Amino acid sequence: MRPFHFAGRICVVTGAASGIGAAVAHELARRRAVLVLVDRDAEGMARVAELARELGSPDVSAYETDLSDGGDRLDLAAEIAARHGGADLLINNAGVTLMGTFEQNSMADFDWLLEINLHAVVRMTKAFLPQLLARPGSHVVNVSSLFGLIAPAGQVAYVTSKFAVRGFTDALRNELEPRGVGVTVVHPGGIKTSIAASARLSGGDPGGEQAAQAEKFEERALTMPAEEAARQILTAIQRRRPRLVIGGVARAADVLARLTPTRYWKLAQRAGKRLT
């Protein structure tokens, strides 16, 4: 496929109010893309949109949308089609996490996470698929995670969603690339975002153990600025790369999991390289 050029293209970004989503929006603006921001945080999106206009985006629109509500996204897709004529790039980035073991996780919390991290990715892709197929050279990006490559203890819900996003994206690529739509799965690891600090604490946290775990993770593991991750994602889109692993932690974990698929977590613990 030919390289993807961003100027003037209609780019939809979910989870756009902060973190990787906000950084991606700003990088797209620097490349003069038309931005469609999707998030539940209207105030955060307003700040992102203001800077995006200053950075050079010719048009920025924001859609306050709660991806945990279980609804389809056909109305959103139709509204964007009416305003812009359709989407050229869909970046499914929105995500949440849940602290605690599977025993501690309530089914309500587990379902909440799957609704945002997995079902929203599927529903957004389904809703925008007719537009993407109708616009030559379009592209889909689904953000998985380091935990779509490895499966640590204490992250069962998050791992379930991110491995599912990985599988969904790989299968989708095999269907869409022959029809001229590029598909990329992204596995970030160690990116400075607020996802750990804003994690839901399943079943309560009377002793503060889960909160302390999130703080420890943020201090030790989150080292790469979201802006650098965004630049790598846009380069991968431009070059039509099918898979992008971001960060030294993610690349090392990927190699270790390939070398010893059933023992990598024990080896990491023994070496004192806890990832959570």
Q: How far is CA 201 from CA 149, 159, 270, 271, in A?
A: 23, 16, 27, 28
Which of 128, 147, 158, 264 is catalytic? The answer is 158
DSSP 119: I
Give the number of other CB atoms < 10 A from CB of residue 216: 13
Is residue 158 annotated as part of the catalytic site, yes or no?
Answer: yes
Q: List CB contacts of 11: < 8 A, sequence separation 6 or more.
A: 28, 33, 34, 35, 36, 87, 88, 89, 91
Instruction: Count the helices and strands in the chain (H runs, E runs).
Output: 10, 11
What is the number of residues in the chain?
Answer: 276
Active site residues per annotation: 158
